[in-house]
Structure 1
Amino acid sequence: MTKQLKLSALVAALLVSASAFAAKPGYAVDQSTDSVVRNNYGECWHTGTFDKAANGLVECGDREAAKPAPAPVAQKPTLVPMKEKVTLSAKVLFDFNKSVLRADAKNELDPLVAKLKAHAGKGYLNGVEVDGYTDFMGSDKLNNALSQKRADAVKAYFVNEGVPADKVTSVGKGKAEAKMTEECKAKFPKYAKNKKQNAEIKACIESDRRVEVVIDAVKETMVEQPAK
């Protein structure tokens, strides 16, 4: 009976010791306090299984303490200027040499209306300028008048759909920025006397017949506040 009691006590002691070592592997541990045993110099006592990379302890100086997470940077909404230019083909908006909007022009204009009304609803719309342009063919008088009428037609559509009238201006710029003139004249030098070339040069300078919508607004963005 005495032998069995001693054997049981020994097994229990071994189990306690094993659990202590398991809790802090690689270190000699005081079973009564569960703290790492230190030598006369205050250094932690390592065992033969010590692996600094795998299980080094901060308390023994074998691993750096985890650094606290950086404090979140404060942010605040700020309004910044925004300019956007949208170019619309006159071929899509109008019939040739006309200034009345085609029925399907709304497919191009309605997305712009939605954007302008959204800006205006937040007080972010400074203004929108509608610029009409023509190609080089025809007199300055006719081109200036046509480009102004087309710009006015687009402006009227915006206002009728709910864009504030005091935010919209329209300007007819005629053939002032007909960018394709020289290139297309070089391709079709006999257009004035040749019906086929006349049709071809009209197609070549199509991109000059356009309406540009220039949006002047602000947008909200988040910026970091300076550290105090």
Structure 2
Amino acid sequence: MTKQLKLSALVAALLVSASAFAAKPGYAVDQSTDAVTRNSYGECWKTTYFDKAKDGLVECGDREAAKPAPVVEAPKTVLVAQKEKVTLSAKVLFDFNKTVLRPDAKNELDPLVAKLKAHAGQGHLNGVEIDGYTDFLGSDKLNNALSQKRADAVKAYFVDAGVPAEKVTAVGKGKAEAKMTDECKAKFPKYVKNKKQNAEIKACIESDRRVELTIDAVKETMIEKKAN
């Protein structure tokens, strides 16, 4: 009976030892605590079967700890102020020297009306400024009045179409920014009053006859946060 008990105890001890080695292969393990045995320098005691590629433990410095997954914050929506400039040819909007909108001007203005109303409906429209410009022909007084009436005509179109009146301003700037003046004067140094040259000069400075819009609105923008 005594011999049988001793044999059972030995088997049990071997099973505990084997279990410890299985849990931490390649290292000598204290059977009573299941902790890796260390030498006098605090280093983990490895067995002759140690294989760092398979058996390394983080606690022994033989393997790097798993890095935590990066934390990615959800995208954030912010409102960003933006100013958009739109240039419309006066040739498309008005007949020469006139201030009444042409019937086909709606093809240029209606898409802008839709955009402005959409901004206003979302509460994102700060305002829109309509600036009228002329070429250099004629007096300052004439051009200032002409450019103001043209800007007013575009404003009236927007307001009648449902754009909030308090968001729209119209300014006549006359020939203050007639950019083609010098180039066209150089091209026609001698002004001759005839239909052909009049038409050529008008064509040369056509781009100066324009209406410019500055749309001041805010836009929703998604900001992606970087992973930490």
- Please report the TM-score for the alignment, with normalisation by the length of structure 1: 0.72
Q: Which residue of structure 1 aligns with residue 27 of structure 2?
A: 38
**1:175 to 1:61, Cα distance in 2 relative to 1, 3 A:** same
Q: Which residue of structure 1 aligns with residue 81 of structure 2?
A: 81
Aligned residues, how many? 194
The question of 1:115 aligning with 2:115 is answered: yes
| C-alpha distance in structure 2 between counterparts of 1:112 and 1:58, whole Å | 68
Identity %: 73
**1:31 to 1:126, Cα distance in 2 relative to 1, 3 A:** closer
User: Which blocks of at least 5 consecutive residues in structure 2 are unaligned?
Assistant: 1-17, 29-36, 39-43
Task: Classify the secondary structure of the residue corresponding to 2:174.
Answer: coil
| C-alpha distance in structure 2 between counterparts of 1:204 and 1:47, whole Å | 92
User: Which blocks of at least 5 consecutive residues in structure 1 are unaligned?
Assistant: 1-28
Q: Which residue of structure 1 aligns with residue 205 of structure 2?
A: 205
Q: Which residue of structure 2 aligns with residue 22 of structure 1?
A: none
| C-alpha distance in structure 1 between counterparts of 2:207 and 2:52, whole Å | 74
Tell me by how many angstroms 1:207 deviates: 0.9
Q: Which residue of structure 1 aligns with residue 158 of structure 2?
A: 158
Specify the code of the residue in structure 2 equivalent to 1:174: G
Q: Which residue of structure 1 aligns with residue 216 of structure 2?
A: 216
Q: Which residue of structure 1 aligns with residue 102 of structure 2?
A: 102
> CA offsets, 1:156-201, max 9 Å, x none?
1111211111111111111111111011111111234454333222
Q: Which residue of structure 2 aligns with residue 17 of structure 1?
A: none
Tell me by how many angstroms 1:34 deviates: 5.0
| C-alpha distance in structure 1 between counterparts of 2:189 and 2:174, whole Å | 23
> CA offsets, 1:111-169, max 9 Å, x none?
21121111111112121111111101122232222212211111111112111111111
- Please report the TM-score for the alignment, with normalisation by the length of structure 2: 0.72
Task: Classify the secondary structure of the residue corresponding to 2:104.
Answer: helix
